[in-house]
Amino acid sequence: MYMTIIVTGGAGFIGSNFVFYMLKKYSNYRIVCMDKLTYAGNLSTLESIMDNKNFRFVKADICDRSAVYKLFEEEKPDIVVNFAAESHVDRSIDNPQIFLQTNIIGTATLMDACRKHGIKRYHQVSTDEVYGDLPLERPDLFFTEKTPLHTSSPYSSSKAGADLLVLSYYRTYGLPVTVSRCSNNYGPYHFPEKLIPLTIVNALNDKPLPVYGKGLNVRDWLYVEDHCKAIDLIIHKGKVGEIYNIGGHNEMRNIDIVKIICKELNKPESLITYVTDRKGHDMRYAIDPTKIHSELGWFPETKFEQGIKKTIKWYLDNHQWWENIISGEYKSYYEKKFNIK
């Protein structure tokens, strides 16, 4: 069956991986990427598919109602998958406003366009951070879809606000929505302000590897392609009005991740630099993926040991991609933030 899917935020990390995955898997789907190209969006990521006849790129802000409505008018999408967001917790602590704008108002604008034009599915890409954190001393606790929302940062609060809005559009207007809440992703095209790509890039440049606090915070890491596969399943087989948690039971401490990367790259652990902790820093995230396992048959396929090797190899093979980023606007942000030259 022919389908048109609007993918917002497709020039970012997970969105671009999703666009590649869908174009490869479905030769009869039209994929339209709408992206504002903020500091985190990178057109060079999409270079290889710009001439693909099944792909269109449109530079637009999801908060721009007339641009969004115009695109819906032109494309008449069957499905919308919303990845577009301000996504970095540290930036949300410095400047919450843009997070509220993009993550909440942008989501509402997209859903209003869906209501106006009719849609088979609106999918909201959310995060496990909406559940807040779990104590380190209770390894028996996990986030289920029924765990109350209990956010810590302006980022997670804006994502939780968007989730509530999405579910309200289902109940109030009958908009056919689904929501997925995934754990931390890693893989190719990950912007080098996040822990794993930052550590790889800095280690390659023999620069300090900043670890917040004592490095004991735990994240549940998932290879990005496994996330893309889960979203593909949800938009085709998931039940409307439902939330699906996505995660692979791969909890690791930050310090251990940084040490693994040092080992893989043959760099000394003396590069590790403990820096001031993040304000309100969540201790542990851990997903219970039982629902998506049992209802949709999704299981993660890439083990961390393979995934981190593939990721490191990608950064080694794609120097130009990240060198362009760290020499640009991001550089001054990064230098100011860590007081590192």
Residues binding ligand NAD: number (CB under 6 A): 30
Q: Counting contacts by CB under 6 A, is residue 133 touching ligand NAD?
A: no
Collapsed DSSP state (helix, strand, coil) of residue 40: coil
Judged by CB, which is closer to ligand TYD: 71, or 134? 134
**186 is known as an active-site residue:** no
212 forms part of the interface with ligand TYD (CB under 6 A): yes
Contact call for residues 302 and 310 (beta carbons, < 8 A): yes
286 touches ligand NAD by CB under 6 A: no
90-116 burial code (b ≥16 CB/10 A, e <16): ebbbeebeebbebbbbbbbbbbbbbee
User: What sections of 118-223 are H helices per DSSP?
Assistant: 154-173, 195-204
Report the residue number, 87 or 311, with the smaller CB distance to ligand NAD: 87
The piece of 70-78, 192-200, 224-232, 308-316 that touches ligand TYD (CB under 6 A) is: 192-200
For ligand NAD, which stretch binds (CB under 6 A), given 6-14, 112-120, 229-237, 314-322?
Answer: 6-14
271 binds ligand TYD (CB under 6 A): no
β-strand pairing of 29-35 with 3-8: parallel
Alpha-carbon distance 322 to 231, whole Å?
A: 26
Closest residue to ligand NAD in the complex (CB): 12
Looking at 75, 86, 128, 226, which residue is catalytic?
Answer: 128
How is 278-290 classified by DSSP, letter by letter?
PTT---B--B--H
- Has 155 been annotated as catalytic? yes
> CA 160, CA 104: separation in Å to the nearest integer?
9
180 binds, among ligand NAD, ligand TYD, none (CB under 5 to 8 A by kind): none
> C-alpha angle with apex 60: 54 to 76, nearest 5 degrees?
50
Q: Any residues with CB less than 8 A from the CB of 329 and at least 6 apart, and which?
A: 39
- Name which of residues 102 to 121 contact ligand NAD (CB under 6 A): 102, 106
Question: In the complex, which residues of this chain contact ligand NAD (CB under 6 A)?
Answer: 8-9, 11-15, 35-38, 40-41, 61-63, 83-87, 102, 106, 125, 127, 159, 182, 184-185, 191
Question: In the complex, which residues of this chain contact ligand TYD (CB under 6 A)?
Answer: 89, 184, 194-195, 198, 210-212, 217, 219, 254, 278
Residues serving a catalytic function are 128-129, 155
